[in-house]
Structure 1
Amino acid sequence: MSSPLAAASEKLSAPAPHEHAHISSPYTDFFTNLVHPVAQPLAATFERFHNFKEYYGLVQPGTVEGLTRDVNNTLMSNYFFEGARADLSKVVSPNPAFQITHSFQLGQKSNYTLGTVFANANTFLHGQWDPSTGGVNMRANQTWSASDITKIQGQLSSTPGQTMFQIEHDHIGPHYSLNLKSINPSPLDGTGLHFVSLIHSVSPRLALGFESIIQRTTPNDFIPATSYLLKYTSSPDAATKAESLLPPAPGTAAVPTAPFTPSWAATAQLQPSGNIQATYFHKLSDKVDVALDLQTMIQPASFMGPAKRDALASLGAKYEFRMATFRGQIDSAGKVGMLLEQRFTPAFAFLVGGEIDHAKNTSRFGVGVMIESSTMTPEEMVAAGMIPPQ
């Protein structure tokens, strides 16, 4: 496969059409002779580098945002809630997907939210409204091609400083992922919080990357900070390597290139403050996942307080049963917790969870229900895959 630079060089080297030879040929030849000595070595170098990566078996490493996604999906602390909760959802249409959700929560903070979801092959829209505060949240994802997706998030709030707008773009290459993101950007003076992140495979098992943050509260401010990333995984099998080299099938929906899914993965992130976050995820079987998260908290002495050196390690496991999901977690601070999601029918689920803090001698508990209803007939639900056939 020829590279873009090689194609451009060949195009420049092509002779001009005969009918315009007496006008454009001298100028074309001059420009070609001028550019060719520079374009040809660059094109050849790019081609050799691309072929080397393909021969070495590099895979798609995933995005920086998804670096710890498997760990977060396993740990209970990301799903735990306190008090009572009820989610009532109604599926209006399966394709394109349109769903309305009413969420109720009782506890230290009681509230009600109304949410809607619309999705098709390339577009995802989500909105949420909180009548008690008047706050509105929205999220939109648009997939342009197999390697490009744009995401927009917004939040409107009556509380000062809580209104937010965020726009980002993901470009997913065969062996790398690039993300550009801005929070509350101002196109007039360039203020805002800007992120640039890149992760690239350097071997079939190792990927390295960085995430740079540029903070500009005023046009004269320029405060950069860079984190360094590492991801080390199990070896991909031959089928995964072959699949990563295949182009998208013609006629299929345009979705970003799927990253390699390892049986285990270890990640590390060195933050600008000197803190380190390290994670480990292992898929023991199709039904059992385990995850470990370690975070250091190093704070030098300052006017805000004395020096602090601390660390927190969390170990969790997730068990997938036929109609239930169980998560358990323990950490070095003395907390032990569990969360059970029991689905009695495809449309009804019961949740119960608890957490005990032995160091502080406190506890928290939560119960909830999730109910889904649909305007479709049972035959339509079976055809859509929402319920198993009888």
Structure 2
Amino acid sequence: MGSSVSREDPPPPAPTPAYAPPPTYAAEVPPPFTAPVGEKAAAAEEKVDYMNLGVPLPYEEITREAYMSLKPDVFEGFRFDFTKMLGEYFALSHSATMGNMELPSRGDDVIKVPTTGYEFGANFFDPKMMLIGRMSHEGRLNARVKYDLTDDICLKYNAQLTSEPGYSQGMGSIDYKGKDFRSQLQFGNNEFFGANYIQSVTKNLSLGTEAFWLGQQRKSGVGFVARYDTKNMVATGQIASTGVVSLSYVQKVSEKVSLATDFMYNHLSKDVTASVGYDYNLRQCRLRGKVDTNGVVTALLEERLGGPLNLVLSAELDHWKKDYKFGFGMTIG
């Protein structure tokens, strides 16, 4: 009886192709290119939709960053301001001042006389309307009205009324806000009429123009403005047919510190003025000041003492005229 062993033959080898690519290794395959996060953000910012540029600032506010640093509200003497909210939209205010008033003089001498003042104010604010009124003890009334007819049309009116003939004045305007532009029509006493228009040209650049007519004095003029702003800087330029050229630049050093400078030239009077200023906003105080080519040094400190109480210190030194102003103020509310 014999044993038998069954054996299955192995399958034939697979046919070798005429061309076989060389083997590759994972280490040799280059990873796909990915741009750094900063470059991705920069590339996204470069893609500008010129059909949706955004609305520019109003024509009269194109230099507001420089204005905050270079035009601090300095005063002389003592000032006390008190504001009391009587509801969600209504507030009353009281303001008392004691200081000196400068009288006009022919020479370089500064003539000052002591003076005191008091103003009573009433404010009304709601989402569509703003009413502000100030009445002084001398009978001078200052009023401001702003009313939004629609989301795009706004009416404004400012008036100053006095008992002295010829010193009362008023100015009204109709503002229209478009998709990427703003326009304004102005009218006032002394047969004043004006119009301005500002347009967003790119994401950072806006250009504008204005024209006015003063019928009582038979004077007219036109002007052109340009504003270029980024996250870190704002540069503006203005030129008018009246002979005025104005340039300003603001550098945002950080979220709390801004440096500003401006230059103004008047072709008719040949006056040239340049100034450098700063705006330092801390947690409990704000410090602003400037130095200009006329020898004037200005500083304003606003300190929050706690709650609604604020301390205000003001100083202005005019070295050429030897005129020095110091102020101390308290604000409540």
The TM-score normalised by the length of structure 2 is 0.77
Describe the SS at the equivalent of 1:65.
helix
> Whose strand proportion is higher, 1 or 2?
2
Do 1:56 and 1:203's aligned partners in 2 also have CA atoms closer than 8 Å? no
Alignment of 1:68 onto 2:67: no
Structure 1 residue 276 and structure 2 residue 276: aligned?
A: no
Alignment of 1:232 onto 2:228: yes
Q: Residues 332-373 of structure 1, C-alpha deviation per residue, up to 9 Å, x if partnerless?
A: 11122211111111211111121222223331111100012x
Q: Secondary structure at the match of 2:65?
A: helix
Alignment of 1:166-177 (within 5 A): 166-177=171-182
Task: Give 1:233 shift.
Answer: 1.8
Amino acid at match of 2:127: A
Question: For residues 291 and 170 of structure 1, what CA distance do their matches in structure 2 show?
Answer: 29
Larger Rg: 2
One-letter code aligned to 2:63: T
Which residue in the other structure is 1:286 paired with? 255
- Residues 233-292 of structure 1 show CA distances to partners (whole Å, capped at 9, x for unaligned) of 22xxxxxxxxxxxxxxxxxxxxxxxxxxx4321111112122201111222222112221
* Residue of 125, 129, 133 corresponding to 1:123: 129
The amino acid that maps onto 2:228 is Y
Query: Structure 1's 205 and 214: CA in aligned 2 closer, same or farther, altered over 3 A?
Result: same
Q: Secondary structure at the match of 1:86?
A: strand
Number of residues paired by the alignment? Answer: 272
SS at match of 1:126: strand
> Partner of 1:155 in structure 2?
160
Q: Please point out which of 299, 317, 320 is paired with 1:356.
A: 317
Letter matched to residue 316 of structure 1: G
**Residues 298-343 of structure 1, C-alpha deviations (whole Å, 9 max, x = no match):** 22xxxxxxxx423111111111111111112111111222111111
2:4 aligned residue: none
Residue identity over aligned pairs, in percent, reads 28
Partner secondary structure for residue 86 of structure 2: strand
Question: Contact between 2:123 and 2:131, CA under 8 Å: does it hold in 1?
Answer: yes
1:164 aligns with 2:125: no
1:198-213 equivalences under 5 Å are: 198-213=197-212
Task: Please give the residue correspondences for 1:1-390 in structure 2 after superposition, counting only pairs within 5 Å.
Answer: 54-55=49-50, 58-75=53-70, 77-93=71-87, 95=88, 97-108=89-100, 109-131=115-137, 133-184=138-189, 192-217=191-216, 223-234=219-230, 262-299=231-268, 308-372=269-333
CA deviation map 1:177-210 (0-9, x unaligned): 10111012xxxxxx71011000112222221111
The 2-side partners of 1:362 and 1:135 are apart by: 28
Aligned-partner residue type, residue 158 of structure 2 = Q
Question: What is the distance in 2 between the residues matched to 1:55 and 1:130?
Answer: 50
TM score, norm. by length of structure 1: 0.66
| Distance across 1 between alignment mates of 2:246 and 2:176 | 25
Question: Cα deviations across residues 114-139 of structure 1 (Å, max 9, x unaligned)?
Answer: 011110111100011012x2111111
Distance 1:127 1:58, change over 3 A: same
Q: Distance in 2 between matches of 1:125 and 1:105?
A: 23
Query: Structure 1 residues 62, 285: CA separation in 2 closer, same or farther (over 3 Å shift)?
Result: same
Alpha-carbon distance in structure 1 between the residues aligned to 2:160 and 2:319: 37
RMSD: 1.8
**Which segments of 5 or more consecutive residues in structure 1 lack a partner in the other structure?**
1-52, 185-190, 235-261, 300-307, 373-390
List alignment gaps of at least 5 residues for structure 2: 1-47, 101-114
Higher helix share: 1
